[in-house]
């Protein structure tokens, strides 16, 4: 451990591995340190992996990587206690190469991805915790690990240590995240034979489906639940911001039980066997919560930098892209032999030019708007279900009268002005 490296990457999630892989491909001497027994052993993901960003790192990865199913249908449910209003998209173009996205089991995928970085020349050490960054004269020069004589040195240290990023905190890049900046998600993997999955989700062969569920899935609190198809299992999970959980006195595992027993969800799970049960935080503070991402000799990537677009459940792709951009900035810095904040600044330029910062900026007020104005999840979703029920129930009432009655019902509860205000506020938050 006394060698000096060009780059030390802390963490072997998608962000860390994409950085280690790209650096190694450029001939840099890379050490990747992971605290888990193996990459993916500490990770949980409900499991959608996006093709585009992964393909930019390893072309045609789907021919080799351990993937579950290509997703051909994305459904969205607005769920009430005994009903669901749904919409979505199913497209057979997603069933063919190059695909759109895939369900994955992270324990398998992360191991495979990290092995590609090792094949490219990166050195991976597992079961090792980085306890702090070593700082000399205002510059990060290496890391201290929990191994005996475990100090290691490098020109650049990349913090890919996930949502809690204790190392980012140690450097003063961010404070303890507030409860409204992180969501606590619990999920379960439920084994179910392939033919039953295909029958229940109306799929053929290895096609996949994802369902995002809002409303009663979180008992009307800000958050989402999800149900995804793997080859021979389902991922079901639910999460809300920690602040919503505290305010509503929700217990995460009770919420998952509630979801699994919901009459709209239960039939999908029937006869399945629980295989794994996991809980994890997701950074959901968005644009306003992005910490400092560059210092002298150090870069921050992925969840550690709060790069998650909660509205589109995109995190793994932002992690991979930010890891790759960090690697490219390090390669540039190496050419100039300048690993200072200025020398590494092309990382920030790349982030701001990319979908990462643009998308986070677009939704910068969304989480806070929906958290501060609970009527969207608590009142409007049930109202929309009632409206659909009224509209589609054939009872001899002329359709125009029905429409009027529905509109009256919608505005009666909150008043016409407040409804207009709510619509405008929601539009502003996601426009
Ligand atoms: C339940 C759930 C469902 C999700 N669903 C999706 C989805 O469908 N699609 C999507 O795109 N994203 C999803 N996400 C988000 C996605 O998982 C993350 O955005 C992504 O994993 C971030 O990658 P990362 O490499 O930055 O961090 P992580 O994947 O968290 O990896 C960090 C790694 O660093 C290691 N580590 C931490 N500290 C240290 C240390 N001090 N020393 C050594 N190692 C350390 C950890 O063990 C871990 O392996 C989901 C997240 C959760 C929790």
Atom of ligand 1 nearest to the CA of 187: 1
Can you give the pLDDT at residue 45? 61
Nearest protein Cα to ligand 1, atom 12:
315
Residue nearest to atom 17 of ligand 1 (CA): 45
- Tens-digit pLDDT profile for the chain (431 aa)? 567 999 999 999 999 999 999 999 999 999 999 999 999 987 766 689 999 999 999 999 999 999 999 999 999 999 999 999 999 999 999 999 999 999 999 999 999 999 999 999 999 999 999 999 999 999 999 999 999 989 999 999 999 999 999 999 999 999 988 999 999 999 999 999 999 999 999 999 999 999 999 999 999 999 999 999 999 999 999 999 999 999 999 999 999 999 999 999 999 999 999 998 889 999 999 999 999 999 999 999 999 999 999 989 899 999 999 999 999 999 999 999 999 999 999 999 999 999 999 999 999 998 889 888 889 999 999 999 999 999 999 999 999 999 999 988 888 878 888 989 999 999 999 88
Ligand 1 atom at minimum distance from 48 CA: 8
User: Ligand 1 centre from 263 Cα, in Å?
Assistant: 31
The residue contributing the CA closest to ligand 1 atom 15 is 315
Indicate which residue's Cα is closest to atom 51 of ligand 1.
45
Name which residue sits closest to atom 37 of ligand 1, judged by CA: 161
CA 44 centroid distance within chain: 10
Question: Which ligand 1 atom minimizes the distance to the CA of 307?
Answer: 19
Q: Model-level pTM?
A: 0.95
Pocket lining for ligand 1, CB < 6 angstroms? 10-16, 33-36, 42-48, 129-130, 160-162, 185, 187, 237, 280, 282, 302-304, 308, 313-317, 319
- Residue whose CB lies within 8 A of the most ligand 1 atoms, among 21, 31, 46, for a mutation test: 46
Measured by CA distance, the residue closest to atom 4 of ligand 1 is 45
Alpha carbon nearest to ligand 1 atom 19, residue: 315
pLDDT for residue 172: 97
CB 159 within 8 A of CB 301: yes
Among 109, 161, 163, 255, residue to substitute to test ligand 1 (most atoms within 8 Å of Cβ): 161
Ligand 1 centroid to Cα of residue 132, in Å, is 19
Atom of ligand 1 nearest to the CA of 128: 43
């Amino acid at each position: 451990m006394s060698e000096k490296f060009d780059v030390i990457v802390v963490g072997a999630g998608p962000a860390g591995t994409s950085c280690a892989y790209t650096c190694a491909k450029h001939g840099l001497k890379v050490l990747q340190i992971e605290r888990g027994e193996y990459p993916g052993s500490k990770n949980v993901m409900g499991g959608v992996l996006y093709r585009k960003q992964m393909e930019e790192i390893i072309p045609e990865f789907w021919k080799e990587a351990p993937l579950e199913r290509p997703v051909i249908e994305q459904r969205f449910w607005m769920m009430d206690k005994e009903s669901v209003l749904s919409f979505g998209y199913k497209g057979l173009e997603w069933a063919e190469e190059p695909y759109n996205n895939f369900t994955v089991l992270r324990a398998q995928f992360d191991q495979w991805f990290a092995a590609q970085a090792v094949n490219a020349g990166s050195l991976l050490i597992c079961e090792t915790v980085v306890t702090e960054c070593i700082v000399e004269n205002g510059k990060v020069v290496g890391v201290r690990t929990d191994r005996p004589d475990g100090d290691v040195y490098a020109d650049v240290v990349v913090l890919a240590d996930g949502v809690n990023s204790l190392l980012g905190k140690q450097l003063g890049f961010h404070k303890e995240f507030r409860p409204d900046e992180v969501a606590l998600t619990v999920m379960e993997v439920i084994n179910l034979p392939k033919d039953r999955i295909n029958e229940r989700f109306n799929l053929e062969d290895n096609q996949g489906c994802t369902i995002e569920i809002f409303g009663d899935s979180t008992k009307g609190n800000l958050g989402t639940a999800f149900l995804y198809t793997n080859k021979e299992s389902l991922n079901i999970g639910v999460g809300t911001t920690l602040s919503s959980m505290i305010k509503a006195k929700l217990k995460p595992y009770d919420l998952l039980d509630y979801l699994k027993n919901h009459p709209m969800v239960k039939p999908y799970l029937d006869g399945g066997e629980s295989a794994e049960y996991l809980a994890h935080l997701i950074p959901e503070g968005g644009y306003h919560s992005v910490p400092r991402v560059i210092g002298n000799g150090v870069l921050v990537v992925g969840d550690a930098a709060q790069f998650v677009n909660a509205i589109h459940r995109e995190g793994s792709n932002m992690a991979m892209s930010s890891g790759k951009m960090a690697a490219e900035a390090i390669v540039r810095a190496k050419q100039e032999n300048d690993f200072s904040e200025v020398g590494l600044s092309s990382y920030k330029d790349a982030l701001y030019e990319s979908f990462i910062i643009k998308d986070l900026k677009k939704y910068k007020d969304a989480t806070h708007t929906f958290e501060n104005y609970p009527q969207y999840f608590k009142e409007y979703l049930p109202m929309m279900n009632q409206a659909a029920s009224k509209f589609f129930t054939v009872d001899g009432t002329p359709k125009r009268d029905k429409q009027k009655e529905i509109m009256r019902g919608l505005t009666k509860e909150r008043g016409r002005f407040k409804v207009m205000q709510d619509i405008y506020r929601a539009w502003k938050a996601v426009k």
